[in-house]
Amino acid sequence: MRTLIFVTTAFLAAGSAAAQQPDVIFVPTPHEVVDDMLRLANVKKGDILYDLGSGDGRIAIAAAKKFGIKAVGIDIDPERIREANENAKKAGVANLVEFRQADLFKADFREATVVTLYLLPDLNVKLRPRLWEELKPGTRIVSHQFDMGTWKPDKRLESSGRVVYFWTIPAKKK
């Protein structure tokens, strides 16, 4: 019996650890590309920005610092969350930004007016139905480097050898 309990616990622990593995590793967006992403998304006072897969927090922190807006970063890796919180403190915007340790595919991001992404092509496509269904019309989305498959971008910008894509959630969703 004791062996059975041990094996079951070990199995569950391994399962939950596996569920926490990042879908993509941390590679930061260069700061100049961050600036272009915010510019392309026309971020302004009153926006609420969500960076899905927020890494060291640089996009949320830059948005809070430049525009004084609320920004939320979601990352599955606790080390990234720690780092992002430290960076927010150093940048003096800890009162405006919040970093949540969560799986972006399960997180609630409905309050966003701007969503930023630097994931992978297949992850963007996997996320697309939730972006489309749950975000309010007029919400802007920018993605560093990767598009959304058949959902064609409204704009595309070259930035320091990278590409930034921009979409708006339409008023009438099909």
Ligand X SMILES: C[S@@+](CC[C@H](N)C(=O)[O-])C[C@H]1O[C@@H](n2cnc3c(N)ncnc32)[C@H](O)[C@@H]1O
Chain residues binding ligand X by CB under 6 A are 22-24, 26-29, 51, 53-55, 58-59, 74-77, 80, 103-105, 118, 144
Smallest gap from residue 42 Cβ to ligand X (A): 19
- Rounded Cα–Cα distance for residues 163 and 170 (Å): 22
Query: 88-104: b or e for each residue (b if 16 or more CB lie within 10 Å)?
Result: beebebbebbbbebbeb
Smallest gap from residue 164 Cβ to ligand X (A): 11
Place of tokens 């894509």: 165
Sheet of strand 162-168: strand arrangement: 97-101, 70-75, 48-52, 114-117, 140-144, 162-168, 155-159
Question: Nearer to ligand X by C-beta: 6 or 90?
Answer: 90
Question: Nearer to ligand X by C-beta: 9 or 160?
Answer: 160
Smallest gap from residue 154 Cβ to ligand X (A): 20
Question: Nearer to ligand X by C-beta: 26 or 166?
Answer: 26
Question: Nearer to ligand X by C-beta: 67 or 118?
Answer: 118
At residue 56's C-alpha, the angle toward residues 159 and 51, to 5°, is 65
Smallest gap from residue 25 Cβ to ligand X (A): 6
- 20 half-sphere exposure, CB direction, 13 A CA radius: 12
Smallest gap from residue 62 Cβ to ligand X (A): 10
Question: Nearer to ligand X by C-beta: 13 or 19?
Answer: 19
- Indicate the SS3 state at residue 165: strand
